[in-house]
């Protein structure tokens, strides 16, 4: 966990063109990435009978995503991107958001798009927040896991999976009772560790000293975040979720999933962060949803066909209700002449393309929101399968004010895996 904290603090060199500030740096934009493991079969999202691009206005959304029907005018379903170059099988791991080759146990080879955007969008107290949802046993045993997001080559970013720990980090300074005592004890411990680490690292060999310095910087950033959050405590009190029995005594894993989502939403609404990554299954082949009536869990779910499968309908419906809640909550907060949702983009997909043991030749995506008028909405777009997921990430960067033609893809790679250059014109306004 401490390695993850330190890794998250490291500033990695980014690809050319990103070192300059985005032209709309002052815009209050934000983005959410929601990745469900085990694949995203397009038949669970594309309305029946739609074979080509068109409006969703008169279409009926499939049962798995029917919770999004009230928000259809904000929805854009995209089919026909690919990720063959990421070599997914059970999962593309970091490659899903990085757009590069990924595999189990293989460190990231570069930054992922969520981290990259956190360096582009207006600065926040916590530029990037990752939360991971899994079985209750796994979330308790492994409260942090790093499988999806990275700040650079060999620099994974951990995901929060225990809502008690995340609440303590975000709101411990304004809490009372046991949470406040734990927050103060942890803060004192981190202060002391940082002081000791800074002193003890001086005698190490140069190579080890550099790595050790990353850990020291990680503690420094944790302590700095705690101090910065303390300075805006009166503001944060308006957004801190209520601590109920579901935190300490969850009956199902979904009790913790729901509270993690609440904490992520509160971080967006309060302005603590502008980039939220949600990993349902934490980028692995595991995961559990007993709280919505799914008794099977883990790897076996990936070997079930998703269309018309009551098990996968329940999982996808649960996801869709989470997406709907994100939209509702952001729509409830005025911003400029509209709401927070008007300046937000929600990206829903899988860390494993369309299904388990996939080649990655089709990588369905759903977008919610137009990101301050940048993306088309209320429609379905069928692409020809010749542009990679990297092109979607390039499109989001362009909409964020960064003039880049490719994301994490060399010209040599592009010659083999990308039929075009720049953003995907079919999805932008």
Q: For the chain, which residues make up each domain, given as ranges?
A: 2-417
CA–CA distance, 144 with 131 (Å, rounded to integer): 9
* 402 vs 237, residue with greater confidence: 402
Mean pLDDT of 381-403: 98
205/85 Cα distance (integer angstroms): 38
- Burial class, 349, CB count within 10 angstroms (exposed 0-12 / middle 13-18 / buried 19+): buried
Q: What is the pLDDT of residue 14?
A: 40
pLDDT tens-place string over residues 226-254: 677 777 778 888 999 999 999 999 999 99
pLDDT for the residue numbered 304:
94
CATH 3.30.2010 is held by the domain 2-417: no
**pLDDT recorded at residue 34:** 98
What pLDDT does residue 232 have?
79
Which residues are CB-neighbours of 383 under 8 A, at least 6 positions away?
78, 79, 80, 81, 424, 426
For the cut 90, the answer to whether the pLDDT of residue 139 exceeds it is yes
Q: Give the per-residue pLDDT at 201.
A: 59
DSSP 3-state percent helix, strand, coil across the chain (nearest 5): 45, 15, 40
In whole numbers, what is the pLDDT of the chain averaged over residues? 88
Q: How much is the pTM?
A: 0.88
């Amino acid at each position: 966990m401490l390695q993850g904290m330190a890794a998250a603090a490291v500033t990695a060199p980014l690809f050319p063109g990103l070192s300059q500030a985005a032209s709309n740096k002052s815009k209050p934009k934000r983005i959410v990435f929601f990745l469900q493991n085990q694949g995203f079969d397009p038949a669970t999202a594309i309305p029946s009978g739609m074979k080509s691009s068109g409006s969703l206005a008169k279409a009926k959304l499939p049962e798995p995503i029917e919770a999004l029907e009230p928000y259809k005018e904000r929805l854009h379903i995209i089919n026909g991107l690919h990720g063959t170059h990421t070599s997914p099988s059970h999962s593309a791991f970091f490659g899903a958001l990085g757009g590069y080759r990924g595999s189990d146990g293989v460190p990231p080879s570069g930054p992922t798009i969520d981290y990259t955007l956190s360096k582009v969008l207006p600065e926040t107290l916590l530029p990037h927040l990752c939360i991971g949802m899994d079985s209750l046993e796994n979330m308790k045993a492994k409260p942090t896991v790093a499988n999806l997001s990275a700040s650079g080559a060999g620099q994974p970013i951990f995901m929060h999976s225990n809502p008690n720990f995340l609440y303590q980090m975000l709101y411990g300074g304004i809490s009372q009772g046991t949470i406040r005592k734990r927050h103060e004890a942890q803060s004192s411990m981190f202060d002391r560790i940082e002081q000791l680490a800074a002193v003890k690292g001086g005698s190490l060999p140069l190579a080890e000293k550099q790595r050790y310095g990353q850990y020291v910087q990680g503690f420094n950033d944790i302590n700095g975040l705690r101090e910065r959050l303390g300075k805006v405590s009166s503001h944060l009190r308006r957004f801190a979720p209520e601590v109920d029995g579901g935190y300490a005594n969850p009956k199902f894993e979904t009790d913790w999933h729901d509270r993690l989502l609440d904490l992520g939403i509160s971080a967006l609404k309060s302005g603590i962060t502008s980039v939220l990554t949600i990993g349902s299954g934490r980028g692995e082949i595991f995961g559990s949803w007993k709280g919505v009536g799914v008794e099977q869990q883990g790897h076996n779910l990936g070997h079930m066909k998703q269309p018309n499968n009551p098990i996968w309908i329940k999982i996808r419906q649960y996801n869709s209700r989470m997406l709907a809640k994100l939209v509702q909550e952001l729509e409830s907060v005025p911003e400029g002449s509209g709401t927070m949702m008007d300046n937000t983009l929600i990206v829903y997909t899988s860390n494993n393309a369309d299904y388990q043991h996939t080649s990655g030749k089709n990588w369905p995506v759903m977008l919610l929101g137009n990101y301050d008028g940048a993306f088309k909405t209320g429609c379905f777009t069928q692409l020809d399968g010749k542009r990679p997921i990297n092109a979607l990430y390039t499109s989001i960067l362009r909409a964020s004010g960064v003039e880049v033609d490719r994301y994490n893809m060399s010209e040599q790679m592009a010659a083999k895996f990308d039929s075009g250059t720049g953003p995907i014109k079919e999805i932008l306004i």
